[in-house]
Amino acid sequence: MHGFHSTVSRRDFMKTLGLAGAGIGAAAATLPVFHDLDELMSASQAQHKQPWFVKDVDKPTIDIDWSQVVRSDKRINGHDGIPYLAPSGGWHATGDRIASYPGGDANRKPAEDYIKSKFPDWKGDTLRDQALRQTVWTVKRTPTPFVCSKLTYSPEEYGLPRYEGTPEENYIMIRNLLRFWGGGKIGVIKLDQDTRKVFNANSSNKDIVFEDVDEAYETTTKTVVPNKNEYLIVALFTAQTVLGRRWPSLQSNAAVMGVYNFLSWAEGNLQEFLHGIGYEANIVDNITNSEPCGLMAGVGENVRMGYTVVSPETGAMARCVLRVITDLPLATTKPVDAGLNRFCNTCKICAEACPYNAIVLDDAPSWDNAAIPGSPPGFNGWRLKAMSCAHCGSACQAVCPFNAPRETWIHSLVAPTVTVTPVFNKFFADMERTFGFGMWEPESFWTEEEQPIFGYIGGILGN
Amino acid sequence: MLWFFVGFIVAVVVLLLVSWLKNKNIKLVWYEWVIGIVGLLLILAAIQHYAGALREGFAKAALLGSLSFGIPAIVLFVVVWQLISRRRRAQT
């Protein structure tokens, strides 16, 4: 009868219980419970890990000839060192629709025609679409000053020495903080003679100059970047997917500016945090070009859309790029290769979608910048026909195949396959078209029964 | 939750099938098992694709994908059924 109910003796049971208890105790002791910042920064489990198929590489997936790269001058060029076709503004109501023409923004018509070609039942943007679009301006954006406002106490004010950590520890600390503030993929570049060319030569009618000074400062004629602030922190901020996938409807513009609000909040916080631990930080979004920063820091690749950093984790939903320089020593990151740039050779879905024909349909990237007015020299990559781009907000980004949040097993298979071999790229792009992936119907935003919190679909944040 | 029910249903169907085969004294050749298992995997792939594509927000892709995997699965099941029934007919 001894073994009738159980084949485990009481002694074995107690022994097992002891082992299990020890196991649970050991597991509890090793679980990450953060008590202070020192623990947060050293928590290996909090590290962002890129998918296994994304490779760190020594050079970006496009060739860059830094000797040919010139610092852009925003007195001549617009966004990201390029001129663009700015919407002319002005709106005109027709019935219950906010029509952008006649009498309004004629540049908007191609975008509207594009949406109608995809969704014939869509009649145009409505009053609530326009109202949603305008909400992004109702909250004052967090100021993002180049020179720190010093709102946090410095270590000197406490009578303490500044925080010291190894570059690796500091990198993990910054990465954990930026993830906490909504950042996606995070990288660091150590600025040198070449990479300083990501800084504009002139912005807001001020010359951007590097000097051996202790603190950054601005005058009416120049913005002075301290040479000692040689670490450039780069982070991707992802547009809210539920509206990002509905670009270029008017409502979806709320996702464009909405994520810029998150960005401002995060970089302001980061700047003040670094001041609080004894270091200087300068927000340089407005005086650097985003794409080369993103490429060199390894947060994404150059793609057919040009001037858009597409990441293997968040696809083309990554809308803006945080750029902050600091004198905090940081471990640097490498560029990445996830096969994205190569996939663009055959895909062309974004170019077909562009209502303004601003994206080239070539079969390979090019060194030739002369063929595209306003395009910068010095790299063998994809270039946007910026003079044609209306910043519709953005049809191209909404349809990029890399936006797939990998909820289906087939998407989980496609992403690594693209990295390993280009053989199936055309087939994958054709399937993307056939299966009807791409833009979502705009009006359905108002009728769907449940939306994800903050409009982010799980997985698209690269978690 | 979806996969709990899928697992439950698959387990019940496989149990009933094996029991029925035993009762009828039907023995499957190894390649019939292989074809049947491939068919089952395709059915599971179709279900996962359907649910996943709906979560991604693409109803058309959900339908097309599930048909792409589901129809070959049904064809494979029919092949196994025909192989068995023709062999039994030949035996009797």
Nearest-by-Cβ selection for A437 from B48, B49, B61: B61
Please list, residue by residue across A301-317, b when 16 or more beta carbons sit within 10 angstroms of its beta carbon and e when fewer do: bbbbbbbbbbbbbbbbb
Polymer length in residues for chain A: 463
A119 touches chain B (CB under 8 A): no
B48 touches chain A (CB under 8 A): yes
**Structural domain boundaries of chain A?**
2-42, 47-455
Which pTM does this prediction carry? 0.83
Please answer yes or no on whether B56 and A407 come within 8 Å at the CB atom.
yes
B60 contacts in chain A (CB < 8 Å): 435-436
Look at residue A361 in the predicted model and tell me its pLDDT.
95
Q: Where are the beta strands (DSSP E) in A92-211?
A: 92-94, 97-99, 186-190, 202-203, 206-211
Please answer yes or no on whether B65 and A410 come within 8 Å at the CB atom.
yes
CB-based contact A152:A275 (threshold 8 Å)? yes
Nearest-by-Cβ selection for B53 from A245, A408, A457: A408
Please answer yes or no on whether B56 and A410 come within 8 Å at the CB atom.
no
* pLDDT at A54 > cutoff 70: yes
Q: What is the dihedral of CA A409, A412, A417, A418, to 10 degrees?
A: 130
* pLDDT at A308 > cutoff 70: yes
Mean pLDDT within A231-241: 93
Query: CA of B49 to nearest chain A CA: how many angstroms apart?
Result: 5
In this predicted model, which residue has the larger pLDDT, A294 or A458?
A294
pLDDT band at A76 (very low <50, low <70, confident <90, very high): low
pLDDT band at A3 (very low <50, low <70, confident <90, very high): very low
End-to-end CA distance of chain A: 53
Q: At what angle do helices A253-276 and A127-135 cross, to 10 degrees?
A: 10
* pLDDT at A31 > cutoff 90: no
Rounded to whole angstroms, how far apart are CA atoms A186 and A198?
Answer: 17
B45 contacts in chain A (CB < 8 Å): 409
Nearest-by-Cβ selection for A436 from B49, B55, B61: B61
Contacts of B24-27 with C-beta under 8 Å, sequence gap 24+, read: B26/B84, B26/B88
Name the phi and psi angles at A265, rounded to 5.
-60, -50
In this predicted model, which residue has the larger pLDDT, A438 or A375?
A438
- Quote helix, strand, coil % in chain A, to nearest 5: 35, 15, 50
Nearest-by-Cβ selection for B57 from A245, A410, A434: A245
Q: Which of A174, A148, A144 has the alpha carbon at shortest distance from A262? A: A144
Helices (H), A163-252: 167-180, 241-244
Please answer yes or no on whether B65 and A457 come within 8 Å at the CB atom.
no
Mean pLDDT within A113-132: 90
Q: Which of A422, A409, A317, A406 has the alpha carbon at shortest distance from A363? A: A422
Here the tokens at position A83 are 């001129």
Please answer yes or no on whether B56 and A408 come within 8 Å at the CB atom.
yes
**What's the mean per-residue pLDDT of chain A?**
83
CB-based contact A399:B42 (threshold 8 Å)? no
Look at residue A393 in the predicted model and tell me its pLDDT.
77
B53 contacts in chain A (CB < 8 Å): 407-408, 435
Q: Which of A50, A321, A284 has the alpha carbon at shortest distance from A145? A: A284
Relative to beta strand A222-226, strand A206-211 is parallel
Task: Report the complex ipTM.
Answer: 0.82
Helices (H), B57-91: 59-91
Query: CA of A457 to nearest chain B CA: how many angstroms apart?
Result: 8
